Structure 1
Amino acid sequence: MIDFYKPEEANAEDAIEAIGGELSMFDDWMERYEFIIELGRKLPPYPAEWQDEAHRVQGCQSQVWLAAQAQDGKLWFTGASDAAIVSGLVALVLRVYSGRDRAQILATPPKFLHDLGLIGALSTNRGNGVAAMVERIHAIAQAA
């Protein structure tokens, strides 16, 4: 049985607000990076057999894999990366989008990544990779 990411928050907006609150507890970006890396360590195990081209997110500097499952009107996601910081970014993105219905996913643009200061604090390649993850999630929701 695959363990898809189950966020604690009831909706995407609450998840974004919680992430913002957590990030604001740290004084500098090095501490925030450590926090993000720790989030990545807590991701559910990602199946090795899904670490393939079909699940790979194009546009990421690191290897990133993403899988989805529709259940009870919601889309559940799981993901992984071969880079510690990117695994943490996967966890943040999944916290916002996993377990949400199609309409909520499509109504939540990646603007929160800028608002939380994540895009500005990341290298251009990492920022593009996070945006590619969200684009993939939106494409899956659009097709659902």
Structure 2
Amino acid sequence: MIPIQRWVGVFVLFSGSAVSLAQQQRTDACRVEITEPRQGDSVQDEGDARGIATIPAGKRLWIFAHRRGLALWWPQGGGPAQMEKDKWATVVTYGQERDRGSEFEVAAVVLEERDHNEMVNVVKRYEERGEYPGVRLPPSARDCSVTKVVVSKR
């Protein structure tokens, strides 16, 4: 009877470790940080946004911005953020001249393939029409959260 109890104890110990490891991997599988601009920074009309990210396979990182208080967001950089290993970068435009002194939110959103393809089509339509009406912020991919910073336009 003792060998069976040991086996059960060892099984429980290792299965608990396996569950913890799986949870840790799932948590680490999607992580996005905005390192530039930083929360509270003053920004000009346009500037670089940078960060680090761990993105699950088949998903894409998009950066959006909007003047605080608006329901609509604008995709930045003409497409998904450019990734090089775990670093990303894009260019952000902070509204228009009339928006000086306003706060802006910059959001990093990891998109599922379907939402990524939809955003590619949205950007293509914007470019074809020369109109940029904005979009609702798309949902972040499963197990990924939206990362935001708030900045002020000089």
Q: TM-score band, normalised by the shorter chain?
A: under 0.3
Q: Pick the structure with greater CA Rg.
A: 2
TM-score of the superposed pair, with normalisation by structure 2: 0.24
Taking structure 1 as the reference length, the TM-score comes to 0.25
Between structures 1 and 2, the one with greater helix share: 1
Q: More strand by proportion, 1 or 2?
A: 2
